Amino acid sequence: MTKSIFIASAEPYSGKSIIALGLVNMLLGRAQKISYLKPVINAGPEGQKDSHIETVISHFQLQQTYADACVFTRQEALDLVKEQRNGEMLDTIISRFKAMETSSDFTIVEGSDFAGQATAFEFETNKLIAKNLNAPVILLVSGHHKSIADILQEALNFWQAYQGQDIKVVAVIVNRVQPEHADDIRVLLASQLPETVLASVIPSDKALESPTVGEIFEQLQGKILFGEDLLEGPVDNFVTGAMQVPNFLNYLKENVLIVTPGDRGDIVICSLQANLSSSYPRVAGIVLTAATAPDPPVMHLIEGLQHIVPIMTVDTGTFETTNKVAAVRSRIRPGQHKKIQLAIDTFNRYIDLDVLNKKIVTFHSDAMTPHMFQYQLAQWAKRQKKTIVLPEGNDDRILQAAARLIAQQLVNLILLGDPVEIAASVKRLGIDLNLRQIRIVDPANAPQYEEYVRTLYELRKNKNVTLEMARDLMTDVSYFGTMMVYKGEANGMVSGAVHTTQHTIRPALQFIKTRPGISTVSSVFFMCLSDRVSVFGDCAVNPDPTSEELAEIAISSADNSKRFGIEPRVAMLSYSSGTSGTGADVDKVRKATLIVQEKRPDIKIEGPIQYDAAVDPLVGRQKLPGSTVAGQASVLIFPDLNTGNNTYKAVQRETGALAIGPMLQGLNKPVNDLSRGCTVDDVFNTVIITAIQAQDAVL
């Protein structure tokens, strides 16, 4: 049974980190425990760890230490080979690998980096390790600055070298290819490899290959004057600011780092103004050379600016500084969340995940971990892409989430707002969002505005809504977005980053309305705990539901739990378990449980039941022996909003659980609400859930 994979490259800077991050992300969608092993690492300065190992372990929170993930430094391995102690080296690596394999569902092994002399040694050592671990291999070839013929020849030679040692190769991936050549290389490579080998090509992407401002500043070791919180931006170009301003402006390119003497206040002010102007590309940062800072009036001017760029002073001269900047190579490091996510998105976009999964994964877990849940959501959304409208199109979090959604090709998006303001915000944030790939609509100036006004009037005139009132309401982004959903121009809507819950859902209640047979609109949160995903309802909408409403909430929550891959075992929560307690609140829950059992005998349900008895197997067996729900509940229904809202927030804050939602249930078409304190991740996850709901919409 395949429980491991080996990633091998033949040269440095080929992009192994993209493959490793993408693989871990993919496999965590299938298995609970993934281990990562890099047998031979490059030894940096004393105390400095391998940044790639740290990145993988920390980002995915793998259950292993840094020491577990590496065996030898490059020099240690080379010394053993020189001393003809290859067997000792291999035995040690195999022992570490087998220990990982025993305790893990899957192990990813990464070959060495080729960052030094004796690359022939590394090439042969990687083959030897892969063969002795009996691990199938993914081969990675760099296409950087190479012709199509050279790329193909290198890829085939690489494959033949492993094939000749009877090492199973499951994929050959060519990375950093000129985008215009990608399709040709993919077709030609696939035609010359066996059908059993997946041929994939990843085009070159400056956002991944270019160093960040922070990486360059770290190498320059100067003093940061401004913008210390803006160091994640990419540097795609750099220019020396040593000419007059009119000429200097002609040399500005996208994401440019400007290197200039500190006394050139004219260049500094000009650069900052260009960054604010829609006529010039984004400035990534400014490096002031020769240990000089701008004159006090210039410093005072900069301090008063709202949108600034990172600025650093260094002791070295302009020429030496420029050479240092040119020599910086980018690596994906711990904490570079934007770059890590971009690497994963790139892997998902250009690698056929279904084919790769079938080739390397035979293990499957029935458990639903948070990562499995999120991975599964993304796969579902991709299979039937839906269009989601985001009314708060100029909010920074909305735009950052939109960039991720579009990069992963999960949904089609409509943003409501002023196109000029949205474009300016995208530039200011420095996010990679191609506005040609989304639709931007300004409600008041939209061609469908009058039609929407007339429709709203017809739908609400019996509620005393006049035509003039409808005209005014339709300038409201919540009403306009909801009407887009009603009319079928969008399949769902997500709002609430700026607006209140009532503002978001009122239009939906007025004219999208509830599904047939459902009278109660309610909500659930998907609570991603450390080892499982639970469904909490209703924590956002109904203050004090009746027994009948509580039963409807339970049924809707159970159905949605099953729809999202979580086996529903419903606990109707109360301060009493079983028949031990009495009182109006307990009776309400008991009655609601009986209603569910009568209407839906297929649903496993227990109630009333206390929270500890619902989720703790030991307590569950003690309080309700023989129950199919006690101790293993996956859907927890709270008796009122006060209890539900406080409990979900307490669990979220105290355990660090990710709370995805609230997801509204019961509407004909999906409209979901964000909290005004939402994060980019909250927006991202809620849009995906809305898209999946839209696949089942009935209106």
Contact 526, 535 (CB under 8 A): yes
**What is the domain count for the chain?**
4
More confident residue, 23 or 658: 23
Tell me, yes or no, whether 539 and 651 share the same domain: yes
Enter the pTM of the model: 0.69
Element (H, E) at 688: helix 680-694
Average pLDDT (575-594) is: 88
Alpha-carbon distance 65 to 43, whole Å? 18
Whether the link from the prior residue into 608 is cis, omega within 30° of 0, is yes
Summarize pLDDT for 361-384 with one digit per residue, the tens.
655 455 666 766 877 888 889 889
Helix, coil or strand: residue 398: helix
Summarize pLDDT for 326-341 with one digit per residue, the tens.
888 888 888 888 889 8
Lowest-pLDDT range, 303-307, 399-403, 592-596, 662-666?
A: 303-307
Average pLDDT (155-163) is: 93
Q: Which residue, of 512, 544, 561, is where some domain finishes? A: 512
Phi and psi at residue 39, to the nearest 5°: -60, -40
Alpha-carbon distance 87 to 536, whole Å? 55
Tell me, yes or no, whether 320 and 346 share the same domain: no
8-state DSSP, 293: -
Among all chains, which residue has been given the structure tokens 């290819």?
177
Tell me, yes or no, whether 88 and 144 share the same domain: yes
pLDDT of residue 37: 95
Distance of CA 71 to the CA centre of its chain: 31
pLDDT of residue 699: 44
Angle at 247 between CA 242 and CA 250, to 5 degrees: 110
Average pLDDT (634-654) is: 92
Residue 176 lies in a domain: yes
CATH number at residue 650: 3.40.50.10750
Average pLDDT (464-486) is: 91
Q: Would you state the structure tokens that stand for residue 241, as one six-digit string? A: 């600011």
Residue 691 lies in a domain: no
Among all chains, which residue has been given the structure tokens 């940062």?
285
Summarize pLDDT for 283-299 with one digit per residue, the tens.
999 999 988 888 899 88
CATH number at residue 503: 3.40.50.10950
Tell me, yes or no, whether 355 and 475 share the same domain: no
Contacts 24+ apart (CB under 8 A), 444-451: 444/475, 446/480, 448/487, 448/489, 449/474, 449/480
Average pLDDT (23-28) is: 91
Tell me, yes or no, whether 529 and 493 share the same domain: no
Average pLDDT (133-149) is: 91
Q: How confident is the model at residue 558 (pLDDT cuts 50, 70, 90)?
A: very high
DSSP sequence for 4-66: EEEEEESSTTS-HHHHHHHHHHHHTTT-S-EEEEEEEE---STT---HHHHHHHHHHT-SS-T
Share of the chain above pLDDT 90, in %: 48
Domain that holds residue 645: 522-666
Alpha-carbon distance 62 to 282, whole Å? 37
DSSP sequence for 333-366: -TT-HHHHHHHHHHHHHHS-HHHHHHHH-----S
Residue 601 lies in a domain: yes
Terminal-to-terminal C-alpha distance of the chain: 46
Tell me, yes or no, whether 200 and 65 share the same domain: yes
Average pLDDT (443-457) is: 92
pLDDT of residue 536: 95
More confident residue, 120 or 443: 443
Q: How confident is the model at residue 357 (pLDDT cuts 50, 70, 90)?
A: confident
Tell me, yes or no, whether 287 and 192 share the same domain: no
Tell me, yes or no, whether 14 and 154 share the same domain: yes
Tell me, yes or no, whether 179 and 283 share the same domain: no
pLDDT of residue 118: 55
Residue 627 lies in a domain: yes
Average pLDDT (515-542) is: 88
Tell me, yes or no, whether 191 and 322 share the same domain: no
Lowest-pLDDT range, 66-75, 78-87, 104-113, 628-637?
A: 78-87
Residue 517 lies in a domain: no
Strand 522-528 relative to strand 658-665, pairing? antiparallel
pLDDT of residue 45: 58
Q: Which residue, of 478, 512, 546, is where some domain finishes? A: 512
More confident residue, 197 or 233: 197
Average pLDDT (633-660) is: 91
Each residue of 152-178: b (16+ CB within 10 Å) or e? Answer: bebbbebbebbbeeebbbbbbbbbbbb
Tell me, yes or no, whether 229 and 193 share the same domain: no
Strand 283-289 relative to strand 237-240, pairing? unpaired
DSSP sequence for 451-491: HHHHHHHHHHGGGT--HHHHHHHTTSHHHHHHHHHHHTSSS
Share of the chain above pLDDT 70, in %: 96
Q: Report the chain's mean pLDDT, rounded to a whole number.
A: 88
Among all chains, which residue has been given the structure tokens 């298995």?
31
Average pLDDT (232-253) is: 88
> Which stretches of 104-232 are DSSP H helices?
119-133, 148-163, 182-192, 206-209, 213-220
Q: How confident is the model at residue 577 (pLDDT cuts 50, 70, 90)?
A: confident
Tell me, yes or no, whether 486 and 381 share the same domain: yes
